[in-house]
């Protein structure tokens, strides 16, 4: 019964992420298309198009790839796995990443509070999974480091904004690529987190991609506005990456 309850809460939180972020993105799209479209520039159209793709793409993926998820829970069946059906969460993780592409652009009518609550639902689902896997294996250090690292990484993803800096024609393409690229990397890590016993590999390439990309964005826009949120979380991500890799090296030497 305890496992059943945890699995249900985990799935409810994961699905709440989709519901909340989808509603917020729908409200934003309504604001865009009921506003003065003549004032939209190329960046506005990019953000609107990406949001449309993200919302529709996420649900097309769910309904074409994750049909068994709905059937599984509608029939009241429970996976034999103590953490639920990992394959379900792996596919939902990809859909979550697709939807997040549209959540990382500041379109007209954006409601940051709802966005943060939706992200909190996803992190809550991840936390339950980490707890379940730690309890099952009796060794949760790597799992909780993985949870903390992926969480910090997700918070370091930059949101695409308008800017008036002199180098905006250089900054905006970099900002768009870094934002979308780190969302894709987050989705891959999320998929592995749910599919590989709440652990990640702490590989170098995703970390360096986020580190270099974030600092490029922060430095280019420094004189206009310092993005303290991204700066703080990319620093936290860096600390966790080093700590986690040191832990893994020490653990490997003891074997």
Residue-wise pLDDT tens digits, 129-165? 999 999 887 678 999 999 999 999 999 999 999 999 9
Residue 111 is encoded by which pair of tokens? 């409601």
Who's near 1: CB < 8 A, 6+ residues apart?
Answer: none
Separation CA 232–CA 14 (nearest Å): 26
Of 120, 115, 135, 110, give the one whose Cα is nearest residue 13.
120
Whole-number average pLDDT of the chain: 90
Q: Could you give the percent of the chain with pLDDT greater than 70? A: 91
Separation CA 126–CA 128 (nearest Å): 5
Neighbours of 24 (CB within 10 A): 21
Residue 40 is encoded by which pair of tokens? 């939209």
> Does the pLDDT value for residue 2 go beyond 60?
no
Per-residue model confidence (pLDDT) at position 158: 97
Query: Where are the alpha helices (H) located in 138-203, listed in sequence order?
Result: 141-155, 168-195
CA 101 to chain centre: 9
pLDDT in tens, 18-44: 999 999 999 999 999 999 998 899 999
| Average pLDDT of the residues in 179-203 | 95
Residue 38 DSSP one-character state = G
pLDDT bracket for residue 251 (50, 70, 90): confident
Beta-bridged to residue 105, according to DSSP, are: 160
Q: What CA dihedral angle connects 103, 52, 24 and 169, to 10 degrees?
A: 50
> Does the pLDDT value for residue 75 go beyond 80?
no
């Amino acid at each position: 019964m305890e496992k059943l309850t945890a699995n249900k809460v985990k799935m409810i939180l994961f699905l709440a992420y989709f519901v909340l972020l989808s509603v917020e993105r729908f409200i934003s799209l309504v604001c865009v298309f009921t506003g003065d479209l003549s004032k939209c520039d190329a960046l506005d159209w990019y953000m609107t198009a990406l949001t449309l793709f993200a919302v529709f793409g996420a649900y097309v993926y769910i309904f074409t790839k994750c049909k068994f998820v709905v059937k599984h829970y509608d029939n009241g069946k429970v996976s034999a796995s103590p953490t639920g059906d990992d394959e379900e969460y792996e596919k939902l993780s990809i859909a979550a990443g697709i939807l997040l592409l549209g959540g990382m652009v500041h379109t007209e009518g954006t409601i940051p509070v709802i966005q943060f609550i939706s992200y909190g639902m996803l992190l809550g689902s991840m936390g339950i999974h980490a707890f379940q896997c730690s309890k099952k294996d009796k060794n949760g250090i790597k799992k909780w480091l993985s949870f903390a690292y992926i969480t910090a990484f997700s918070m370091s993803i930059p949101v695409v904004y308008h800017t008036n800096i002199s180098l905006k024609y250089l900054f905006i393409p970099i900002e768009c690529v870094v934002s979308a690229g780190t969302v894709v990397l987050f989705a891959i890590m999320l998929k592995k987190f749910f599919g590989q016993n709440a652990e990640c590999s702490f590989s170098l390439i995703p970390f360096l991609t986020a580190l270099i990309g974030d600092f490029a964005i922060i430095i280019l826009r420094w004189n206009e506005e310092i993005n303290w949120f991204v700066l703080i979380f990319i620093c936290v991500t860096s600390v966790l990456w080093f700590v986690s890799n040191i832990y893994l090296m020490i653990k490997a030497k003891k074997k």
